[in-house]
């Protein structure tokens, strides 16, 4: 896939109405509906400010939650419009619908330097079906489409892909940064290239492992998924996480690594416990000899040393998935050590979205990373080497 796409810098936006797809899928308090983190709104500001300062009229749109094509007041984007206005220091006009009379009237009246926000795109039943009628109606509001919601580019929806059939489509700064940094890491990395994979399940990372074995110099596997690899080689893993039907796959990947000359590192020791609980007592044991009735919940001290040493000499590190149950303090040590090793490495460090991004932020290492991806599912599919429909639809440079 070609990652060299046109951005807002490659087109004239002055005097144009711009449909801007943002990722305003913000976390909210279940009781009050208040926005609990505005990070995704803040992330959209550079593109929005550039467009407004260069004389565009901005029609922003986004989804929020999973209303499944039905209007749900609890998932209205109105609070986002309020917060966006506070951050920009200007009025954000809010449309009560997506392609209805309110949206069309307000979009038609919008002047250069003004911004409006459409209601939740997923209130429209055609959004997730990438319905051409909805796409055409949405596109009719504007003259240019700017994609800046990296967290949604792996979905072929009307507001992420469909509108590009009717409007010239380019990326905003957020998507451009993801493509530049992650694209370079996969296609032309500074070597040695070390990939660190964690998380619970092998099945979530099958295609990622397969793709990275063609690109990386070292592949580190931690987290719950490591125990399937250990068991496949005849180890005893107690009651640790196991995907029994993925053991043959694990052996295939071990063989592929050998064949490709990729160093594949698995945990040699483990912090195990009798129960999955924040109060469980950790015991250090060999990973292939976890006693019956105990489960591995984090990598052990020898493994921490080995994994961190591999990262220390790296030129590029891509990390997706925690090393253990980092939500429990007693089992957060492996993930914390890995985050610190990346921060101290001097390598180009890229943290995939989701749990690993949350861990790095929670542990206080976010500002030491080269890049933290804004898309969980999208960054995973990027690492799998899949074509991302919301990127493929943008104009090539």
Catalytic residues, which ones? 40, 201, 354, 377
Strand pairing partners for 18? 58, 144
Copy the structure tokens of residue 1: 């896939």
Give the CA-trace dihedral at 159, 164, 166, 167, to 10 degrees: 100
Q: Are 360 and 160 in contact (CB under 8 A)?
A: no
Residue 35 is given by DSSP the state B
The 10 Å Cβ neighbour count of residue 29 is 9
Whole-angstrom Cα distance, residue 16 to residue 139? Answer: 13
Measuring CA to CA, how many Å separate 232 from each of 213, 226, 246, 286?
19, 10, 9, 16
- Of 333, 335, 344, give the one whose Cα is nearest residue 196: 335
- Of 222, 221, 218, give the one whose Cα is nearest residue 347: 218
Buried b (16+ CB within 10 A) or exposed e, 211-246: bbbebbbbbbbbbbbbbbbbbbeebebbbbbbbeeb
Strand pairing partners for 115? 58, 92
Place of tokens 């505005």: 38
């Amino acid at each position: 896939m070609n990652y060299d796409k046109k951005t807002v810098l490659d087109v004239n936006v002055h005097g144009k109405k711009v449909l801007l797809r943002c990722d305003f899928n913000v976390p909210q308090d279940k009781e009050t509906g208040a926005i609990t983190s505005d990070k995704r709104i803040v992330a959209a500001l550079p593109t929005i400010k550039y467009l407004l300062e260069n004389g565009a009229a901005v029609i922003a749109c986004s989804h929020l939650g999973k209303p499944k094509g039905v209007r749900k007041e609890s998932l209205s984007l109105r609070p986002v419009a309020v917060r966006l206005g506070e951050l920009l220091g200007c009025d954000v006009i809010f449309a009560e619908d997506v392609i209805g009379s309110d949206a069309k009237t307000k979009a038609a009246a919008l002047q250069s330097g003004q911004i409006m926000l459409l209601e939740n795109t997923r209130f429209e039943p055609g959004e997730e079906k990438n319905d051409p009628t909805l796409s055409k109606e949405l596109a009719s509001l504007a003259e240019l489409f700017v994609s800046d919601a990296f967290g949604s580019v792996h979905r072929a929806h009307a507001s992420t892909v469909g509108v590009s059939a009717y409007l010239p489509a380019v990326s905003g700064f957020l998507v451009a940064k993801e493509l530049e940094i992650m694209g370079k890491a996969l296609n032309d990395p500074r070597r040695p290239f070390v990939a660190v994979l964690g998380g619970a399940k092998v099945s979530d990372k099958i295609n990622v492992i397969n793709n990275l074995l063609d690109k990386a110099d070292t592949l580190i596997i931690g987290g719950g998924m490591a125990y399937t690899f250990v068991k496949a080689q005849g180890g005893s893993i107690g009651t640790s996480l196991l995907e029994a039907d993925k053991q043959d796959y694990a052996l295939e990947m071990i063989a592929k690594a050998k064949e490709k000359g990729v160093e594949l590192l698995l945990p040699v020791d483990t912090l195990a416990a009798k129960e999955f609980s924040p109060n469980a007592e950790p015991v250090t044991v060999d990973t292939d000899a976890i006693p019956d009735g105990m489960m591995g919940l984090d990598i052990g001290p020898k493994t921490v040393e080995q994994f961190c040493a591999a990262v220390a000499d790296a030129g590029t590190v891509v990390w997706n998935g925690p090393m253990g149950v980092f939500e429990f303090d007693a089992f957060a040590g492996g993930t914390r050590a890995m985050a610190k090793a990346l921060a101290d490495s001097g390598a180009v460090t890229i943290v995939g979205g989701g749990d690993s991004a949350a861990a790095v932020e929670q542990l206080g290492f976010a500002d030491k990373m080269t890049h933290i991806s804004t898309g969980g599912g999208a960054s995973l599919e990027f690492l799998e080497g899949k074509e991302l429909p919301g990127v493929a639809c943008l104009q090539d440079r």
